[in-house]
Structure 1
Amino acid sequence: MPQASPRGTYLLISESLRARIAEGRYADGLPSEAEIGREFGVARTTVRRALRALEESGDVATVAGVGRQVPGGAQRAPYERIMADLLKQIREGALPVGARLPSEAVMAETYGVARGTVRRAVRELETSGHVRAQHGVGRFVSSAT
């Protein structure tokens, strides 16, 4: 059973994140609570306290459907960034017509998001006709436009 974090750990985490924000490292939004927790080796409740401290000081803001963002930073949802990147790869030929997309798990790891976020991005690409799903096999590029 993991030991409890010492009192005030959330303040150390919030100061570390605040320094990174000042450096401009989070222009596209903060990492997920889970990622921050893994990095600092603390429970999600400790991470939430650190993020709440950053929100109270005005260093970050929560944007519905997007997550925690640095005010003035990019306000695009993560699934939209994934869609844009996949479309770019399709248009540039890195993912040619007929190519199989990486699995949801691989893309989630690559983009640092949850599988549900990847699933939404791919579903949007399917709806727009850029990707087609073949049940039990995978998803494939169906159009380069």
Structure 2
Amino acid sequence: MSRRSTAWGAYTQIAGALRERIRSGALAAGELLPSELALSAEYGVARNTLRRALAQLEEEGLIESLPGRGRVVRSAAERGTARADPRPPQYRQIAADIRAAIESGELAEGASLPSEAALTARYEVSRGTARQALADLCGAGLVESVQGKGWFVRRR
């Protein structure tokens, strides 16, 4: 058996420290929190421990998770309230845009789709978000991946 390297309940202490940074203004409303990796290193804990702390802050309404972007500090007016305009995940918007281009004929059968890097730059999202949009379209039977070549509109 290995010894526990993180103190029991460390996530509550981390949540408390982050809560204080938010309340003091060190983390301003609308500001992105540092990445999970950066915060894990800062507090010397595993990412799962950190995620538990972040989940606690989300439940309190202090922060909000934006898929493909990260976690952002909510304004004082937003805290404790549900989002007024719940947006779908960004990968769905990317997939919807590409689907619309295919259905309108802008992207013909066999046409090459923008690369993951191009989608990442255009929509300002992570590569994983772009990849998820393409996988969603692949699952719908609209596009296919050709190893080493890219993504293409599937031929019917």
Displacement of 1:62: 3.3
Give ranges in structure 1 of 5+ residues lacking alignment.
1-7, 19-30, 35-43, 46-53
Distance 1:32 1:108 in 2: 20
Q: 1:139 pairs with 131, 140, 151, which one? A: 151
Question: Do the aligned partners of 2:68 and 2:129 also contact (CA within 8 Å) in 1?
Answer: no
TM-score (norm 2): 0.52
For these two proteins, the number of residue pairs brought into alignment is 112
Matched, 1:90 2:102: yes
After TM superposition, the structure 1 stretch with the greater mean CA deviation from structure 2, 58-67 or 130-139, is: 58-67
- Structure 1 vs Structure 2: percent identity of aligned residues? 33
Matched, 1:72 2:84: yes
Displacement of 1:125: 1.0
Give ranges in structure 2 of 5+ residues lacking alignment.
1-20, 40-56, 75-82
Structure label with greater radius of gyration: 2
Displacement of 1:61: 3.1
Q: Structure 1 residues 121, 64: closer, same or farther in 2, change over 3 A?
A: closer
Question: Do the aligned partners of 2:109 and 2:154 also contact (CA within 8 Å) in 1?
Answer: yes
TM-score (norm 1): 0.56
Q: Structure 1 residues 95, 135: closer, same or farther in 2, change over 3 A?
A: same
Residues 80-110 of structure 1, C-alpha deviations (whole Å, 9 max, x = no match) = 1111111011111221211101110111111
